[in-house]
Amino acid sequence: MLTFIWPLAALALPLPWLVRRFLPPVRGSQLRALQVPFAAAMAGATTATAAGRVSRWPVWLATLAWLLLVAASCRPQWLGEPVEIPISGRDMLLAVDLSGSMEVKDFRLNGTSVDRLQATKAVATEFIKRRQGDRLGLILFGEEAYLQVPLTFDRTTVNTLLDEAVIGLAGKATAIGDAIGLAVKRLREQPEADKVLILLTDGANTAGNVEPLQAAQLAAQEGLKIYTVGIGADEMVVRSFFGSRRVNPSSELDEATLTAIAEQTGGRYFRARDTEEMATIYVLLDELEPTVKETQLFRPKTALFHWPLGGAIGITMILMLYRAWKP
């Protein structure tokens, strides 16, 4: 259905006629005197020109340009068919660790060794796609925490910006407390919604201004439930000039603090040692936080004003060229 945002702009349609009808016309002799000081010498040529046949098509083109300009001013838009959108009433933030340790390649994806961030992206993408009805947001943190995507129903944008995140973007250290504090700040503005934070990290809190447990206490007071996910394998083979040796790449993972954060806020702690475990965790999160509660009607809107505006500009350019080139 075609609608107009500013239909009252159509009242400007008779403006050119009103100007012509009520304002005094400019005398031809005066106009010629301004343009050509020796107007008297040109009088004969002007008369001969006036006696000829006058073309009317520029007038009609100018009229069409004015009609198109007024139509664009009315802001036409096309309303699509109503679409049902499932609404859960839940606001969910994902906080993803981008510290330097996330570049450790102790995960396998499709038979290839990948770093922890790449594995996180691959599994989180599917989880985000399934969260139809939730408002999702994305926090990225390292030495500092910042909001990459504010709460939105646009899951495609969340996935795109998560995929574009790179290790070290927010610094090499890990500010878990600041990430939780930022989530509390952003979700505090939504008092009626169910608020959930999923925090994924592979280390311990080594930076920031807020201690993780203090941030968790504040989150509990605000009704924010936190699910924490510890990322990293328990064992990894490292090859060097002196041979191979087995190490624990997750030795710095502070599972005690992550568990305390989850328990303090009514959430749960998960351990992801490989991509299979990580995928299972997201399935469990789907079960713990089911999505759809109700539906809401939405009608997509497509702006159309640029079409008549472009037509008006094009016609105006044609008229300007005509006036510049006519003999």
Give mean pLDDT, residues 210-220. Answer: 93
Residue with structure tokens 């008092």?
191
Closest CA to 94 of 142, 148, 169: 148
**How far is residue 305's CA from residue 4's CA, in Å, rounded to a whole number?**
9
**85-297: which CATH architecture?**
3-Layer(aba) Sandwich (3.40)
| Domain span(s) for CATH 3.40.50.410 in the chain | 85-297
- Tell me what pLDDT residue 297 has: 66
Residue 199 has pLDDT above 90, yes or no: yes
Residue 36 has pLDDT above 80, yes or no: no
Local confidence band at 138 (pLDDT 50, 70, 90 cut-offs):
very high
pLDDT at position 22 is: 82
Assess whether pLDDT exceeds 80 at residue 238.
no
Judge whether 122 and 107 are in contact, CB under 8 Å. Answer: no
The pLDDT value given to residue 246: 65
As given in the structure block, the two tokens for residue 169 are: 């973007």
**What are 113's strand-pairing partners?**
108
Higher pLDDT, 259 or 294: 259
Examine the pLDDT at 291 and tell me if it is beyond 80.
Answer: no
> Can you say whether the dihedral through the CA atoms of 83, 87, 92, 94 is positive or negative?
negative
Cβ atoms 187, 196 nearer than 8 A: no
Mean pLDDT of 16-34: 67
For residues 70-94, one letter each, b for 16 or more C-beta atoms within 10 angstroms of the residue's C-beta and e for the rest, the string is bbbbbebeeeeeeeeeebbebbbbb
pTM for the structure as a whole: 0.63
Nearest Cα to 140, choosing from 82, 200, 84?
Answer: 200
Read off the DSSP letter of residue 188. Answer: T
Report d(CA 244, CA 235) in Å as an integer: 13
The whole-angstrom separation of Cα 170 and Cα 248 is 25
